[in-house]
Amino acid sequence: MPETPTTPSGAYPSTPHGPQSPPARLPVPPPRAAPLRRRPRPEPRHRVGECDSPVSPFPGLPRFRFADSWLFLGVRQIGDSTARGVTLRAAGSGRSDFSCATKASEDHSGLTRQLLDFQHDTVDETDGGYDPFSQLKERFTDFKQRNYVENFTNYQKLAEQQTPEFMVVACADSRVCPTSILGLQPGDAFTVRNVANLVPPYEHGASETTAALEFAVNSLQVPNVLVVGHSRCGGIQALMSMKSKKDDRSSRTFIRDWVSLGKSARLSTEAAAGNLSFESQCRHCEKESINSSLLNLLTYPWIEERVKEGNLNLHGGYYNFIDCTFEKWTLVYRPGLEGGSKYAIKNRSTWS
């Protein structure tokens, strides 16, 4: 990491921010259908950082500035950023509490739904600023009504325990959520997401991915691990762009240190596709890196053991969002095989 706390430059693939076309905006939710009661405007809201909210859900604990629960209390202002002169407020709240308490655990057959004390004023957003949290609140309400209520029995079962079929390792990229792409339902997949969906080798030591692998395989006993890579991966691009500056401390960044875990994938890419364009090499490396991660999985003793016993399958997946295809394959591990490679690929197919 740079010694001074400045923003590192030149360390990232050029991800244009402020693109030519504006970022996709969340759609404006429809106006509320149900009439809501009003109540007098309460005292002015506290600014962020003041800790004397009148009611703390955690008596005896130092009080934090709690914004209200969605569906329980109204969303108060979050992020009063006076430095920017912007006050972010949820439309329709920000002044009082409103409770939309759907106590599913009390009566789920019809779901008790109480709309109390909702101040329906539309707050003037003095700068016309965008409030993502009111949008997210609407989204959660939509999820609650459309998904949670309909699947309430399933959620109550899941509340007791999870028994996922998969552990998924996917990239943190906003475009490649594996739940969305693969239609995973709650309870299906214990999912880790990190930069470039990398699995470090066992000798790397402690990491969040390592801890998750240990829990998923040893405690949850998932029968499948799926490593999912994707097209246009910024982390892989960073790996392929790295100049070899082993001893140059000033070029160290977290990103550089982390994506270096994929260096064997870079080496095999350069060997196999070094004559191709940089973009093609990145494409190649995205897939090589998945295989490198699959092989790294086998460096974990408890994983190798379960794979050998036939109790755990290791799969690779590659999501290409340019043409919307998903390629998947399964690693075959034959440690006792005489002559020839211990590793092979089977069941490769492309879904489109």
- Binding-site residue positions for Zn(2+): 171, 173, 230, 233
Amino acid at the residue 262: G
- Of 272 and 345, which CB lies nearer to other proteins in the complex structure? 345
- Of 275 and 352, which CB lies nearer to other proteins in the complex structure? 352
- Of 45 and 287, which CB lies nearer to other proteins in the complex structure? 45
How near is the Cβ of 14 to other proteins at its closest, in Å?
A: 9
Angstrom distance (rounded) from CA 8 to CA 343? 40
Q: Is the Cβ–Cβ distance between 299 and 201 less than 8 Å?
A: yes
How near is the Cβ of 122 to other proteins at its closest, in Å?
A: 20
How near is the Cβ of 302 to other proteins at its closest, in Å?
A: 9
3-state secondary structure of 182: helix
- Of 284 and 315, which CB lies nearer to other proteins in the complex structure? 315
Identify the helix (H) or strand (E) that includes residue 293.
Answer: helix 278-297
Amino acid at the residue 126: T
How near is the Cβ of 173 to other proteins at its closest, in Å?
A: 6
Q: Is the Cβ–Cβ distance between 191 and 213 less than 8 Å?
A: no
* Angle, alpha carbons 83-85-86 (nearest 5°): 110
Question: What 8-state DSSP symbol labels residue 139?
Answer: H
Angstrom distance (rounded) from CA 336 to CA 122? 70
Amino acid at the residue 261: L
- Of 39 and 113, which CB lies nearer to other proteins in the complex structure? 113
How near is the Cβ of 264 to other proteins at its closest, in Å?
A: 17
Q: Which residues are known binding-site members?
A: 171, 173, 230, 233
